[in-house]
Amino acid sequence: MKIQQDAAKVLERTSHFLQKGIIKERPAWYVPVGVHPTGYDLTKRPKRFDSGRQPADPQDKLYKKQGEYFKTGMSSTDRRNRNNKVHSIPKIKLLEDKLRDVFYHQHPWEFARPKNLVENEGNDVKKCDWSHMLQLHKPLDGESVVQRTLYILKTEREKKNITLFDAYDQARFEFYQLRMAEEMSANVSKEESAMFGAIYPSTNMDWGVQKEQEVVDQWTKRAAEMTKAYDASSSRSSTGPSNEMSMESSSIWETSFVDEVEEK
């Protein structure tokens, strides 16, 4: 949002109207505002007053020719806005964001796992107890590592004098153990179901690879046929009319010399 500076031009416009005769009488606020003019920088800040110094004489701000009007021209330094960053949004830097950046940079395939972004009440995080990694209301992912790291860093820093890297490594290794146990249980359950007669269709990734391989096989056959046709055309051009023309263009002396060599 841009700082509004229109209020600073009230004295300027009123002085101009009085000078041109548009306004006949001075407003009641005219002299006080002239003694204490409004600056172009409207940001609020504490103001310091020196005890032994008197305020500036209002006569210094009057025109020399027409002393009843206040000076309205502002210099470039008065118009300069010295607080450009007052309304800019500060960048919020959190330790959680740095941990997420490190984890997902080291484990980019975690982005491929589906995530549920819908919450029933909007405060499902409060139901999680990060004294352990595995949660009932939340699947295992990179956010579990981040929150577990913060919990370890907060609770065990005073006891074990643990650092951020130690807490992150501890949470990361817990994540690895739970992930391996999860994949192992999934494979065991799949093998048990297959043993009792379950049939698993191909996954979407396998189906995509199969369709892609069919297209590659068709392209291979077509490329082989085109290669044979190209080789045939190139060999025909090398043994075709060009050699006959070269033999016809040769002189009689060259052909007779070749015939004599062949007879001998």
Per residue in 15-41, pLDDT (tens digit) is 888 888 888 888 888 888 887 776 655
C-alpha angle 92-93-98 in degrees, rounded to nearest 5: 145
- Could you tell me the CA-to-CA distances from 167 to 55, 101, 124, 173 in Å, in that order? 61, 16, 24, 10
Give the global pTM: 0.47
Percent over 90 (pLDDT), the chain:
30
pLDDT in tens, 170-187: 999 999 999 999 999 999
CB of 54 within 8 A of CB of 78? no
List residues bridging with 81 in a β-sheet: none
Q: What is the dihedral of CA 223, 226, 232, 235, to 10 degrees?
A: -70
Q: What sections of the chain are H helices per DSSP?
A: 10-20, 30-35, 76-79, 95-106, 142-155, 157-160, 164-195, 204-238, 241-249, 252-263
